[in-house]
Amino acid sequence: MSSWPKVYLPPIEGAVFKPLKLSDSNNGVVELDNNAQFSIYVCGITPYDATHLGHAATYLAFDLINRYKLLSGAQLNFIENVTDIDDPLLERAKRDNQSWQDLANTQTDLFRSDMSALRVLPPAALVKVTDSFDLIESFISRLDKAGHLYKLDNDYYFSVANFLAQIPMPIEQAIDIFAERGGDPKRAGKGHPLDPVIWIGNVDGDPGWPSSFGFGRPGWHVECTAIACNYLDKSGSNPIIDLQGGGSDLIFPHHFMSAQIVKAAYGRDFAKHFVHAAMIGLDGEKMSKSKGNLVFVSKLLSDQVDPMVIRWALLSGHYQQDRQWSSDLLVTAQDQVDQVRSALARSEVAKTDRLIADLIGDIANNLDTPTALNRLLIWAKQSESDPVVNQSGQISRAIDALLGLAL
Ligand code: ZN
């Protein structure tokens, strides 16, 4: 499936890009290699409720990483999936008496236009699960041949028996989270409550596809691993990709299981780094589908909110900090964007050379966007009181390239 339109990335002349520091969920703050190639797989949406501000904040975080790596001269191999067949999607379609394909297609289109409006760099491929059955089936066959699967009724499960000791929390807690996030720990007959389903045999007329594992559809974790390995395992490297990313709600079980599944299938590690973006709440409450308090990017856009103001508002918090959205945040962001735009419109502004170097340093320092935006506001004020150079074009291009803010 096509991604969304390309976003122009202006070069920042003469800039020096230090290695990017990021907080790896397994290893703390790490410095990324300055390799010529950088492969990143970001877990995409399940298209029945797109794009709320939690999604947007997550994709903005990985957009900053992609921008930085490209500006540093790396060749970016960026793939993202769309989980366009999954229980919540089927349930929503049934509830609304709508075909699941129509629901998935309209929400995916909305997601693409939201990402485009927010100036997120598109992936080389936005890969739908329903377009990927062949490659997922061959990945599952690899797991099966290596002896990691077992059959239960019409379904196939992946056994966690070999790596129980690596589960990063007490087992009872892991089981609770597994159940909250789509797992079926209580199903009778499983080898272990945490074994994830790999192939779901067709039930009750749900959609399915023929395969060597019967008529049905793949489980969630194996979809991402199969797609990532198919598109990004070009050199037989170990680990296979440089970075897997997503929201912090994917740390367990999704990314943990993905890593184990790839290891079992290939005998190699999946990702060198795992990076996760924090959650966005609304007015003091967690923003969630069950609470029905999601704020959608498309709704804000249809209310004539400037997408650059939404982007500024989301970047005003740090990507690893759970934070709150509120209408006040949007008002503040609009005011701050206006201040910077007003400075950029001047014929003479405060000096920018040091500012650009500092902004690059802020992003290199674990995507410290709050500090970067604060610097821009100080510069905007200085430009009003002490304009000395004709360099507003230079800073305008730099903040567009680094922060994705076209002001
Ligand atoms: Zn995923």
CA 381, CA 190: separation in Å to the nearest integer?
Answer: 63
For residue 98, the CA-to-ligand 1 centroid distance in Å is 25
What is the number of structural domains in the chain? 2
Identify the domain containing residue 267 by its residue range.
21-277
Asked if the structure places residue 15 within a domain, the reply is no
Verify that 209 and 352 share a domain, yes or no: no
The last residue of a domain, from among 277, 294, 315: 277
For residue 254, the CA-to-ligand 1 centroid distance in Å is 7
- What is the model's pTM? 0.97
Say if residue 105 is exposed, middle or buried (CB neighbours under 10 Å; 0-12, 13-18, 19+): middle
The residues whose Cβ lies within 5 A of ligand 1, an ion, are 43, 224
Verify that 74 and 204 share a domain, yes or no: yes
Verify that 92 and 155 share a domain, yes or no: yes
Asked if the structure places residue 6 within a domain, the reply is no
CB 131 within 8 A of CB 1: yes
For residue 335, the CA-to-ligand 1 centroid distance in Å is 37
For residue 42, the CA-to-ligand 1 centroid distance in Å is 7
Asked if the structure places residue 4 within a domain, the reply is no
For residue 234, the CA-to-ligand 1 centroid distance in Å is 19
Asked if the structure places residue 282 within a domain, the reply is no
Verify that 38 and 186 share a domain, yes or no: yes
Asked if the structure places residue 3 within a domain, the reply is no
Verify that 202 and 128 share a domain, yes or no: yes
Verify that 327 and 395 share a domain, yes or no: yes
Query: Tell me, what CATH number does 92's domain have?
Result: 3.40.50.620
CA 196, CA 190: separation in Å to the nearest integer?
Answer: 10
Verify that 324 and 234 share a domain, yes or no: no
For residue 12, the CA-to-ligand 1 centroid distance in Å is 33
Verify that 273 and 311 share a domain, yes or no: no
Determine if the peptide bond prior to 51 is cis (ω within 30°).
Answer: yes
Verify that 246 and 154 share a domain, yes or no: yes
Verify that 163 and 312 share a domain, yes or no: no
- Show pLDDT as tens, one digit a residue, over the chain (407 residues): 779 999 999 999 889 999 999 999 999 999 998 888 999 999 999 999 889 999 999 999 999 999 999 999 999 999 999 999 998 999 999 999 999 999 999 999 999 999 999 999 999 999 999 999 999 999 999 999 999 999 999 999 999 999 999 999 999 999 999 999 999 999 999 999 999 999 999 877 889 999 999 999 999 999 999 999 999 998 889 999 999 999 999 999 999 999 999 999 999 999 999 999 999 998 888 777 777 789 999 999 999 999 999 999 999 999 999 999 999 999 999 999 999 999 999 999 999 989 999 999 999 999 999 999 999 999 999 999 998 888 899 999 999 999 999 99
For residue 56, the CA-to-ligand 1 centroid distance in Å is 16
Q: Is 293 strand, coil or helix?
A: coil
